[in-house]
């Protein structure tokens, strides 16, 4: 199994809603990532977890809250989002987080905030 699975594929939420994005991999990878990609733009790194510990937070607003319950799962909890947060949210994993490793991406969750 070389897949990173993200759910849901599409999500529409209001600015007062609370929702969660989920990401799962069963490749035994110990580094997991959240990226945000606006239309026609490259992915921007949000968070990195290494061995289930948050190792990088790219100054992401607190309305985005990541969680890594175990080495296979990564969640992104969303609360009080703004319309400008609408984007494709990509999860990725890599074996250990060392430089030059291949990133395995999921298909993403297309988020629309109304």
Q: Is 66 in the site for another protein (CB under 8 A)?
A: no
Q: Residue 80 CB, nearest distance to another protein (Å)? A: 27
Per CB under 8 A, does 65 bind another protein?
no
Supply the DSSP symbol for 113. Answer: E
Interior angle at CA 13, CA 7 and CA 14, nearest 5: 160
What tokens appear for 72 in the block? 């296979």
**CB of 77 or CB of 102, closer to another protein:** 102
Among candidate residues 82, 90, 114, 106, the one with its CA nearest the CA of residue 38: 90
Task: Name the minimum Å distance from CB 100 to another protein.
Answer: 4
- Hey, what are 57's tokens? 């937070």
What does the binding site for another protein look like in residue numbers (CB under 8 A)?
A: 4, 31, 40-45, 48, 55-56, 90, 92, 94, 97-108, 110
């Amino acid at each position: 199994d070389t897949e990173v699975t993200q759910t849901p594929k599409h999500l529409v939420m209001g600015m007062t809603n609370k929702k969660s994005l989920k990401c799962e991999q069963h490749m035994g990878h110990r580094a997991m990532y959240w990226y945000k990609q606006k239309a026609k733009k490259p992915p921007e790194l949000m968070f990195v977890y290494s061995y289930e510990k948050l190792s990088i937070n790219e100054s992401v607003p607190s309305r985005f809250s990541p969680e890594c319950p175990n080495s296979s799962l990564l969640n992104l909890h969303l609360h009080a989002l703004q319309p400008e947060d609408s984007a494709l949210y990509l999860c990725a994993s890599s074996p250990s987080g060392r430089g030059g490793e291949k990133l395995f991406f999921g298909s993403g969750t297309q988020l629309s905030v109304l």
